[in-house]
Structure 1
Amino acid sequence: MMLSCTTLVIVLLLSQARSFLSPLEDSNVPEEWVLLHVVQGHIGAGNYSYLRLNHDGRIILHMQSLKGDADLYVSDKTLHPKFDTYKLQSATCGHDIVVVPGDFTRPVGIGIYGHPSHRESEFEMRVFYDETVHQDPFEKGSYEEEHKQKKSGHSAEREFEEEESILWTILIGLLKIILEILF
């Protein structure tokens, strides 16, 4: 009886040690998911660390807090998502999972937040691509529409730069006139 209890305790401890040493190697991950990246890092209490996701398609972010408590914030509107500017989030104590839809605009901003309850948090995030979701290249419209959108975005930037350049030219001209008058 004592021998079977000891054996049971040893088996339980070995299984716990195995799960501790490889916390994200989960047999529940479908075969259709392709591992793209493994990111490990440390984050201080109350601080953010940012990553950028450029891969197209449906992406699954699996993050495990190895020490402390790291939380995950995701947005396709900003590259620096926080607790008040995100679209998707997972803020659990331990295993955080976020599924980034294929229709999110790329690049996608990923914010990792170190919860203040711990001085430092250590995390490991695995980034998977879901092959089961096939993207239709004609889903979002034609090539011309995408090209026009990109062009209009670049032209707005160009106009801003030209305005800034004109302002600097005027400012430098005024400074030259003032210096000539004074000296």
Structure 2
Amino acid sequence: MILSCSALVFALLLSQTRSFLSPSEDDGVPEEWVLLHVVQGHIGAGNYSYLRLNHDGRIVLHMQSLKGDADLYVSDKTLHPSFDTYKLQSATCGHDVVVVPGDFTRPVGIGIYGHPSYKESEFEMRVFYDQTAQQDPFDKGSYASSDERKEKTSGQAAEDDFQEEESIFWTILIGLLKIILEILF
């Protein structure tokens, strides 16, 4: 009796381990997709966590809110996308999926937002490369000269510096306003 129970528990553990290690069609993940990264994290209410995607090709982001509600914002124009500035987004309660097209300019900014209705949100994001997407050999972006690439990179760096300076400015301004309000009231 004990031996059969042990065998049953072992078989159950083995099947769970196999399904965890190899994504199946039941997970909504085709076998042709290659798992590149698994990112886990926590995010406070109303805060953002930012990631940078450098991989070329069609990338699929699968994010599961394990606790609370984390939302996903993606942009190829800024490395700090938000609910005001994004190109792609998924803001569901639970499972969020965003497909990043292969023609997006790299690096791609990924913003993970902790919904304010929860004090803290916990998430797990799986990043897949979709091998089934056909690469266009005549795509002008794939044959950009080194000068063009340097120009794009320096333009993105200038935009990031401007956004960082703007963010610091607003942080200081809000801090000063809080101090003035505390003094007055």
Q: Normalised by the shorter chain, which TM-score bucket?
A: 0.5 to 0.7
Residue 149 of structure 1 aligns to a residue in which SS?
helix
- TM-score, normalised via structure 1 length: 0.67
Deviates more, 1:133-142 or 1:38-47: 133-142
How do residues 28-107 of structure 1 correspond to structure 2 at under 5 angstroms?
Answer: 28-107=28-107
Deviation string 1:47-101 (CA, Å, 9 cap, x unpaired) is 0000000000000000000000000000000000000000000000000000000
Could you tell me the percent identity over the aligned residues? Answer: 81
For residue 137 of structure 1, report the CA deviation from its aligned partner: 3.7
Deviations 1:115-167 (A, max 9, x none): 00000000000000000012134312674x5334235457879xxxxxxxxxx
* Counterpart amino acid of residue 58 in structure 1: R
One-letter code of the match for 1:123? Answer: F
Q: Which residue of 2 aligns with 1:114?
A: 114
Instruction: Say what the alpha-carbon RMSD is for the aligned residues.
Output: 2.7
Indicate how the Cα distance of structure 1 residues 152 and 65 shifts in structure 2: closer, same or farther if over 3 A, else same.
closer
* Deviant stretches of 4+, over 6 Å: 154-157
SS of the residue corresponding to residue 89 of structure 2 reads strand
Distance between the aligned counterparts of 1:69 and 1:142, measured in 2? 37
Which of the two has higher C-alpha Rg?
1
Q: Which stretches in structure 2 are left out of the alignment for 5+ residues?
A: 1-11, 157-185
* Aligned twin of 2:183: none
Aligned in 2, Cα 1:140/1:95: closer, same or farther, shift over 3 Å? same
Structure 1: runs of 5 or more not aligned: 1-13, 158-183
Q: Which amino acid aligns with 2:148?
A: Q
Which residue of structure 1 aligns with residue 148 of structure 2?
A: 149
SS in 1 for 2:146: helix
**Number of residues paired by the alignment?**
137
Report the Cα distance in structure 2 between the residues aligned to 1:45 and 1:135, rounded to whole angstroms: 39
